[in-house]
Chain A
Amino acid sequence: MKRGILVLADLKITIGSEVFQNPIWVASGTFGYGTEAPELVDVNRLGAIVTKSITRKPREGNPPPRIVETPSGMINSIGLANIGVKKYIQDMLPIYENLTTKIIVNIAGTDVQEYVEIMEMMESVSSVIAGYEINISCPNVKKGGMEFGVDCDMTAKLTEKLRILTERLLIMKLSPNVSDIVSIGLSAENAGADAVSAINTVVGMSIDAESGSSNIFTTYGGLSGPAIKPVGLAMVHKLYNKLSIPIIGMGGIVNTDDVVEYMMAGSTAVQVGTANYRDPGIGEDIIDSLDSFINQTNRKSATDLIGSVRTLS
Chain B
Amino acid sequence: MIIERARIKSNCEVAHNIWEMHYEAPNIADSYLGAGQFINILALDDWSHPLRRPMSIASAEDGCISIIYKIFGDVTKILASQKEGETVELMGPLGNTFSNWDNGTYPVLIGGGVGLAPILNLKKECAAKKVDHTMIIGAKSGNEHFIEHEPEENIYLTTDDGTIGDEGTVMEPLKRIIIENKNTYLFACGPEPMLHAVREFALKNNIPAQLSVESYMGCGFGLCQGCVIQRHNYEIRDDSYHQKYSLICLDGPVYEAGDISFG
Contacts and interface: CB of A to CB of B under 8 A. Distances in A.
Instruction: Determine if chain A interacts with chain B.
Output: yes
Interface of A: 1, 29-32, 36-37, 39-40, 57-61, 63-69, 71-74, 76, 78, 81-84, 87, 225-226, 254, 274-281
Nearest to A66: B226
17 contacts: A32-B222, A36-B222, A40-B3, A58-B240, A58-B241, A60-B245, A69-B51, A71-B48, A72-B48, A74-B218, A78-B224, A225-B47, A226-B47, A277-B50, A277-B223, A280-B219, A281-B3
B64 interface: no
B50 A275 contact: yes
Given A66-B226, A66-B227, A69-B216, 18 more contacts: A29-B224, A40-B1, A58-B239, A59-B238, A60-B238, A60-B239, A60-B245, A61-B228, A64-B215, A64-B230, A64-B245, A67-B217, A72-B49, A74-B218, A81-B228, A81-B241, A83-B241, A275-B50
B238 A81 contact: no
A122 B186 CA distance: 48
A277 B1 contact: no
A81 B239 CA distance: 10
Contacts of A30: 223-224
Nearest to A70: B50
A84 B241 contact: yes
B226 A78 contact: yes
Contacts of A40: 1, 3
A278 B240 CA distance: 28
Interface in B1-32: 1-3
Given A40-B1, A277-B218, A279-B3, A63 B241 contact: no
Contacts of A280: 219, 221, 223
Nearest to A279: B3
A40 B221 CA distance: 11
A61 B240 CA distance: 9
B1 to A, nearest CB: 6
Which of B51, B238, B239, B240 has the most A CB atoms < 10 Å from its CB?
Answer: B51
A130 to B, nearest CB: 21
B137 interface: no
Interface string B33-49: 00000000010000111
Given A72-B50, A73-B50, A81-B245, A36 B226 contact: no
A39 B218 CA distance: 19
Nearest to B217: A67
Nearest to A76: B226
Interface residues of B, number: 34
B99 interface: no
A30 B222 CA distance: 10
A72 to B, nearest CB: 6
A61 B225 contact: yes
B50 A66 contact: no
B74 to A, nearest CB: 9
B50 A69 contact: yes
B229 interface: yes
Given A39-B1, A254-B47, A61 B245 contact: yes
A29 B226 CA distance: 11
A225 B222 CA distance: 18
For the complex of A and B, the 5 pairs showing the least CB-CB separation, nearest first, are: A67-B226, A58-B241, A277-B219, A57-B239, A60-B244
Contacts of B226: 66-67, 76, 78
A63 B50 contact: no
A39 B224 CA distance: 17
Contact of B241 (A29, A59, A69): A59
B50 A225 contact: yes
Name the residue in A64, A74, A82, A225 with the highest tally of chain B Cβ atoms < 10 Å from its Cβ. Answer: A64
Residue from the set A29, A66, A68, A274 with the largest chain B CB neighbour count within 10 Å: A66
B25 to A, nearest CB: 14
Interface string B46-58: 0111111000000
A218 to B, nearest CB: 13
B48 to A, nearest CB: 6
Contacts of B222: 32, 36
A280 to B, nearest CB: 7
Nearest to B244: A60
Contact of A64 (B50, B221, B227, B239): B227
Given A37-B221, A66-B228, A67-B218, A60 B241 contact: yes
B243 interface: yes
A39 B1 CA distance: 7
A214 to B, nearest CB: 14
B51 A74 contact: yes
B1 A37 contact: yes
B84 to A, nearest CB: 25
B229 A64 contact: yes
